[in-house]
Structure 1
Amino acid sequence: MVVALVLAAASLAFVLLQRHQLESSLRDVARQQASDVAAQVSREGTQVDLVGGGGDQALVQVIDATGTVVAASASVSGEPPVVDLAPAPGEVITVSGARLPIGEGEGFVVVAEGVDSADGPMVVLAAQSLETVQESTSIVGRLLLLGSPLVLLAVALTMYWLTGRALAPVEAIRRRVATIDGTSTLSARVPVPPGGDEIARLAETMNSMLSRLQSAGDAQRRFVGDASHELRSPLSTIRAAHEIQALHPESADWTTMSDEVLSELDRVDRLVADLLLLARSDEHGLTLHLTDVDLDDLVHAEATRLRRRDGLHVVVTAPPVRVQGDEHHLARALRNLTDNALRHAVSRVELTLSTHGNLARIGVTDDGPGIPEGERERVFERFVRLDHSRARDSGGTGLGLPIARQIAHAHGGELRCDQARSGGSYFVLTIPLTHHGERQDLA
């Protein structure tokens, strides 16, 4: 419809422009003819000879001051003045579309020019028929009326073909995406058309999105499987203890059994709490209650707790350092790091606190077997199991390090793992002294 409207407007403009140009040409012819006859009248007066002047589609008249035609072309010989125009000598008047007593009722362009002669002032009339203009305009209009639908049809077919060809890759992408059900076919990828245009970039973006969805789906399935496994282990222990008590009540050690069941329930409670924290963090981010926190107090408190374990040497270097953060979450992150060190240390754990520019740095070092360089980033994934030397004992949930990193990121910091000089593991928690992130909940 847009092309049809454009064609109609262009056709109309073309017809009008052509008519205007033809009329302008005839007007110039009539003006030139009137000028030539006026020059003869100025020299010869009423003796000017107009025999053969004008032609079938034109006329010339010379009119004296009394309104009498003193000379005329053959087509209007003996006729009165064809128009009532009386310009002064040297003045030119032009009239378009005048109806004259010759021809078949078509319009004329009439030029009247006043002139001084030996016989007094006179008026020269020269007229050109607009019949050729009307015929030309009519022919062009009919051609456009017949040709425009053909042109419109050709444009429509061409646009339909080009649009279909251009959108064929989009349809291929749509068909491929329609086959992806979100479970087993997330590994499928949409075809990328050649050319590097917008559609190709769209396909590349969709493939990137599908890769992220596949990774997220795989991670979710691993997370659910690992969480199920972690929950199954303490529940199986509790069930076994109760089944033994039911089968052999006379030989059951109630104190040992109660301690074992309570320990497993504590493990379930910690696991559920960790899962809820990670779920809330993934969905909305951690909510921080920002206050001034003395990190050295947190470090010394953890050192005091670690020293309660027999055979463990705890070294602390913690000058006063104050940051703006969430005390509860920072304490939890530090607790997770020290618990990890406690499980894998042989005899020594070292806690250090320092500042570097606008960052506070907490280091937790153990003298355990250490973590291979290729595995140091994997320990921050949820439920990741390394080799037997780093396997979790019954007290671990496999979520402590991921939670600690999540807390560090919420404070605008970072948590990384390195190799200690002693060969053990060295975890470094860095957070800004002043929190620059969005404060979701300011205490």
Structure 2
Amino acid sequence: MSPLFRDFSLTSVTSGLLSAFVGFSSSFAVIVQGLKAVGASPAQASSGLMMAAVAMGLAGIALSLRYRMPLSVAWTTPGAAFLATLQAPEGGFAVTVGAFMLAAALCVLAGLWRPLGRLAEAIPMTLANAMLAGILLPLCLAPFRAMGLIPEIALPVFLAWAVMARVNRLLAIPAAVVVAAVLVARGLEPGAFALDHLWSGPVFVMPELTLAAVVGIALPLFILTMASQNVAGIAVLKSFGYTPKAGPLISFTGMVAFLSAPFGSPGVNMAAITAALCAGPEAHPDPDRRYWSAIIAGIGYTVMGLGAAIAVAVMAVAPPAVIAAVAGLALIGALTGSLAVSVSQPTGREAALTTILITASGVSFFGIGAAFWGLVAGAVLYALDTRKSRRLAAADAE
């Protein structure tokens, strides 16, 4: 028997399928909401969701087979959350797709050319997390706003999430999704759910690019992908004893993201949260055999991606407040973590708070969104605070 198949185990199947189920169901609503916010039609949003899932599935399978490590790949949930705070750019979804491709190309370059990778990593983690927190904050208010609009749906969804989170946090969002789907289905008129639109193939979008999209979409998306996903994903792998070279992984996932972007995919990268499900001892007691869990997860993502039109069809008949509520609940964990990191250091705490507030405000100048301006303002204040701290430290040493 081939060594590859000798390493296969039932525990890798269960861990991999759980990882795929949690990864897809916990954030697909965020992906669709983000794509629609930046101008995607329902067919384009369905295509984007499908291609993102298939891309991360195939990339995870390829990397895990190549390196014999549980190298999980995920779509960029923080990036999709960022997109959900924007409006469609001038030029429509084609311009957004161009920004997706540029962000992916920068990831490829960051993996191949260390100076760019180091530049991205040089952004203080407090500021990168502050930008992410500012992006997530308005979205995480949606579940509570929905309680005032449609309490008969929003409140049971919230309770399902809150109760399950105390039992098994990984299943909290899937439980909320199930409750929301059941309640929405009960209120539908006969024939509201069209069965003849449950399959939608990939939709190609000819990319365009504008300067505003470069600065307002591509650069923040690149920073979020590197700081919130790739760097965190590599750190998770290291915590379980795996030490792959980061450059090839980042450049490979960036290339996959580049190739899938013309079909609406907002990007893929190294997984962070779901990576722990495939790299931990639950996948297999022997670390050398855990790579099969990431392979199974990749297969699961690919299969679910091919049925992405079903998820989009369900979302199309649900009240927008319900979709926003589920997406907001899915992001609360990420908001908690990013807030904690952003204010963890006394020096630069005001800079981080400034970044959060400007980003959350949604202010826009010259067609460039708030995330960019929040990061710029925070970086200036951070530099001034750091210089002041160094000057005071030097004075005390004298």
Same fold (TM over 0.5): no
TM-score normalised by structure 1 residue count: 0.15
User: Relative contact order: is structure 1 or structure 2 higher (C-alpha 8 Å, sep ≥ 6)?
Assistant: 2
Please state which structure has a larger fraction of its residues in strand.
Answer: 1
TM-score normalised by structure 2 residue count: 0.17
Query: Which protein has the larger Cα radius of gyration, Structure 1 or Structure 2?
Result: 1
Please state which structure has a larger fraction of its residues in helix.
Answer: 2
